[in-house]
Amino acid sequence: MLSTQQDNRQSSSASARSVLTKHMPALDVLRGLAVLAVVFYHGFFYLVPAFPWHNRLAASLFHLTSFGWTGVNLFFTLSGFLITGNLIDSQAKPNFYSRFYIRRALRILPAYFLVLLILGLTRISSPKYLWVCVIFLANWPTLLLHSQFTSYRVLWSLAVEEQFYLVWPWLYRRLQSKGLFALCIAMILLCPVLRGVAVTLTDRDIFSKTFLIGDNLAVGAAIAILCRSPQLSLKGLLWTGVAAIGVSGSAMLILIGTGHTLRSGVLGASVGYSMLEWFTAGMLILTLYAYRTKPLQAGLGIFVFFGEISYGLYLIHILCGVLYDRAFGHAYLTNASLLLLRFVAVTGIAILLATLSKRYFENPVLRLKEKIPAAK
């Protein structure tokens, strides 16, 4: 009781900035949740959406994985938050641009290009598609490729991130926090309208195009700016998170309950998709608030682990699945035991490879930033 009263007094007087610490392990928890959602989605519902389950519990768990694609939206919100925060915190450094781009390149590109190389050597993806990925247009391959090609389904989201990285530092440098916040609000309002129009004009995928889903990144960026605003109290930030969860959660339940989805049709593509973004924003705020002064519970350590290897695991889990299918075939398409065996084997191998990559490849490369003057 006393602890709760003290917490309430701190919330009333503290600034929203108090949720920001040097290391925020709670964000790794969210990353872990996001990557696990995607892995389960690709391992089950995306793979065999019409699987003939005869057990009601198994069928319910299977259909629960159909929401796993939303993990990517959580990744985008986190990215917008972290990247914008890094830009604000490093604005006084003389090497503003070089510091940002070198650090991002060291974090993203080595593993990314290694995967592209493996995809080419194993012929999982078309060479011409991989060249499009090299120039960060995996979400717009048909701009340059007019004949058939084989893609690699997770790379579109990396392209969205990379395009965001290219323009966001430049925008922040010119607009500063207030101007960038206004831009974020404009994107949050405009992108749903653009999606609603786009879904009526084309049957192609509109949810991989940066200018149509940029509000997902803008939501995270807006939170980063709010957290650094001297005018916003910690209590105000908390109620912002509660409102985001309450409004978006209620709206999504109404949409789903009335037969709509969160991506199809005008209403789903505009309002539904936006509500999902708001929900991830609320998750981020409440997580930051909850763990601003206390350590994570021991049981959350598993999510921290997956959060730390999330990038590598996201990149290679599909690759492991394709190679597994080449070796053992597709009998799992109609056999529940084989489907479960495939998931355990593929996911286990992917986790092992992602862990080794993080420790012996990604981390050593990332440490080079301390040896490059322009990256300090």
Q: Would you give the DSSP letter of residue 150?
A: -
Same domain, 107 and 150: yes
Domain assignment present for 232: yes
Q: Give the chain's radius of gyration (CA, Å).
A: 21
Same domain, 191 and 267: yes
Question: Which two three-digit tokens encode residue 194?
Answer: 């653009």
Same domain, 61 and 199: no
Same domain, 246 and 357: no
- φ/ψ of residue 131, rounded to 5: -65, -35
**DSSP bridge partners of 15:** 233
Residue 13's SS3 state is helix
Confidence of residue 2 (pLDDT cuts 50, 70, 90): very low
Share above pLDDT 70 across residues of the chain, in percent, rounded to a whole number: 97
Confidence of residue 375 (pLDDT cuts 50, 70, 90): confident
Tell me, what's the pLDDT at 290? Answer: 94
| Residue count (the chain) | 376
Q: Where are the alpha helices (DSSP H) in the chain?
A: 2-13, 25-43, 56-64, 70-89, 96-121, 127-134, 155-201, 210-227, 234-257, 265-267, 273-290, 301-308, 310-328, 336-357, 363-366
Domain assignment present for 5: no
Tell me, what's the pLDDT at 39? Answer: 98
The predicted model gives 269-278 an average pLDDT of 97
Same domain, 149 and 287: yes
Tell me, what's the pLDDT at 236? Answer: 96
Stated pTM of the model: 0.94
Of 269, 294, 319, the one marking the end of a domain is 294
Same domain, 340 and 213: no
Domain assignment present for 180: yes
Q: What's the mean pLDDT when you consider all of the chain?
A: 94
- Under 8 Å between Cβ of 73 and 220: no
Domain assignment present for 275: yes
Question: Which two three-digit tokens encode residue 256?
Answer: 């789903």
Of 242, 261, 294, the one marking the end of a domain is 294
Q: Would you give the DSSP letter of residue 297?
A: P
- Under 8 Å between Cβ of 245 and 286: yes
Same domain, 174 and 312: no
Domain assignment present for 25: no
Domain assignment present for 363: yes
Same domain, 263 and 200: yes
- Under 8 Å between Cβ of 31 and 307: yes
Residue 208 belongs to what H/E stretch?
none
Q: Which of 1-15, 253-267, 282-296 has the lowest mean pLDDT?
A: 1-15
Indicate whether 1 pLDDT > 70: no
Query: How far is it, in rounded angstroms, from Cα 228 to Cα 211?
Result: 26
**DSSP bridge partners of 233:** 15
Residue 293's SS3 state is coil
**122-153 burial by CB neighbour count: b if 16+ within 10 A, else e?**
eebbbeebbebbeebbbbbbeeebeeebebbe
The predicted model gives 259-275 an average pLDDT of 92
The predicted model gives 225-235 an average pLDDT of 95
Query: How far is it, in rounded angstroms, from Cα 82 to Cα 206?
Result: 25
pLDDT (tens digit per residue) in 162-215: 999 999 999 999 999 999 999 999 999 999 999 999 999 987 889 999 999 999
Domain assignment present for 132: yes
- φ/ψ of residue 294, rounded to 5: -125, 150
Question: Which two three-digit tokens encode residue 201?
Answer: 């004009």
Of 277, 294, 311, the one marking the end of a domain is 294
Domain assignment present for 40: yes
What is the domain extent for residue 345?
34-68+300-376
Q: How many CB atoms are located within 10 Å of the residue 115 CB?
A: 24
Q: Which of 2-11, 126-135, 319-328, 342-351 has the lowest mean pLDDT?
A: 2-11
Query: How far is it, in rounded angstroms, from Cα 371 to Cα 376?
Result: 8
Same domain, 316 and 280: no
Same domain, 281 and 322: no
Tell me, what's the pLDDT at 92? Answer: 87
pLDDT (tens digit per residue) in 77-131: 999 999 999 999 999 888 999 999 999 999 999 999 999 999 999 999 999 999 9
Confidence of residue 7 (pLDDT cuts 50, 70, 90): low
Q: Single out the residue of 127, 235, 119, 221 nearest to residue 165, CA to CA.
A: 221
Q: How many CB atoms are located within 10 Å of the residue 166 CB?
A: 12
Indicate whether 360 pLDDT > 70: yes
Same domain, 165 and 261: yes
The predicted model gives 29-37 an average pLDDT of 98
Indicate whether 34 pLDDT > 90: yes
Query: How far is it, in rounded angstroms, from Cα 264 to Cα 202?
Result: 12
Number of domains in the chain: 2
Query: How far is it, in rounded angstroms, from Cα 290 to Cα 294?
Result: 8
Same domain, 314 and 283: no
Q: Single out the residue of 252, 255, 192 nearest to residue 218, CA to CA.
A: 192
